Amino acid sequence: MAGYKNCYEYNKSNNDESEIEENLIYKKKYKKLKRLVKNLVFENAALCDQVAQTQENLVIVKEERLYLVKKLSQYQGEPSDGSPIGNKIINNNLNLSLMACDNGTAKKNNKKRNFIDSTSGEIGVKSKTKISTSGKAGSKRVVQLIPLDINGRPLFPISLGDLTVYSLGEVVVDRIGYHTDDYIYPVGFCSTRLYASLKDIQSQCLYTCKILDGGPKPRFEIVSDTDLDQPLVGSSPDECHSRLLQALSPLLSNLSPKGASFFGISHPTIQNLIQSSPGTRKLPLYKTQKFEVNKNSIENGSSPIPEEELDPSINFTSLHRSFVLNNYNSIKEEPIDHHDIRALKDLS
């Protein structure tokens, strides 16, 4: 009996020692895992900051690249002799043609009479032509330089940054729904624009914008090159653009739609060409817009970019920048990582 008792105590002591050794092993593993998780949390926070900074630098580099490409395209035009002098001659001919077109249209279409300004006493000319007042006071509608053929007609496609126009279409005179006070909707108008993709808002995609004959009112379409079978259709440019913004992201629904700008019919250069098309004098609602050529652009060989082209609702670079800044702020303000770090510090 005594031998059995000694054997039982021996086995019990061995079990206690093995259990202590096993607990020590698990304790070491726990400390090792805690140290590993703590390092991973710090590493993840540092990587998030680095990714945000890299994305911000990438946006800046893309803007610089676009600027350099535009400057390069201004020096590498399509002159007949391939020389920079030929480019300057074409640009000068374009400006003279635009100014002559505007002056000739004003002389032929407007009935003018002399009047005396009561404030200054100077003799001027008063026109009966309707002038749109939709723009801001003091704003200038400046047209950009585009290549012309020997007859003074624009050469297609017309490239204006992210916007490319392939056809101006034909002005519809007999239906009042095909124009407004500020814009003309010619049937057959076709343009393309680079903007955020429907499948990935962080990547670019080419959209084709068309104005078709829809009966009493025009039919506006925006088609993505990644989804040709699903066009975005609307009875107005703003309706099409609003559907595009909603399809891209619910966050973009807060942006005001700028359909005329997205299609390109409100671009000063394009609107000036449409306004010079046959039949615009017969439109009852449309108010004639005034345009001018920047003299500095003739000398410097550069054309100003309209402010509307930099709006996030139509400009991919501006949209991407706003998304990067929002993501960066959300990463900096997210409290989850800080709570994990505190919890790990308490455990240590």
Model pTM? 0.57
Strand ranges (E), 169-282: 190-196, 204-212, 219-224, 227-234
Distance between alpha carbon 197 and the CA centroid of its chain, in Å?
Answer: 11
pLDDT of the chain, 348 residues: tens digit per residue = 555 556 666 666 677 778 888 888 888 889 899 889 988 988 898 898 888 888 888 888 888 887 787 777 766 654 444 444 444 444 444 444 444 444 444 444 444 444 334 333 433 434 344 445 444 434 568 888 888 888 878 999 999 999 999 999 999 999 999 999 999 999 999 999 999 999 988 899 999 999 999 999 999 999 999 888 999 999 999 999 999 999 998 888 788 999 999 999 999 999 999 999 999 999 999 999 988 886 665 555 566 678 888 899 999 999 888 765 555 454 445 444 555 445 444 544
What is the predicted pLDDT for the residue at 304? 67
**Structural contact between residues 129 and 113, judged by C-beta atoms closer than 8 angstroms:** no
Asked whether the beta carbons of 145 and 297 are under 8 A apart, the reply is yes
Looking at residue 135, its pLDDT comes to: 47
Instruction: Give the Cα separation of 31 and 37 in Å (integer).
Output: 10
pLDDT tens per residue across span 2-61:
555 566 666 666 777 788 888 888 888 898 998 899 889 888 988 988 888 888 888 888
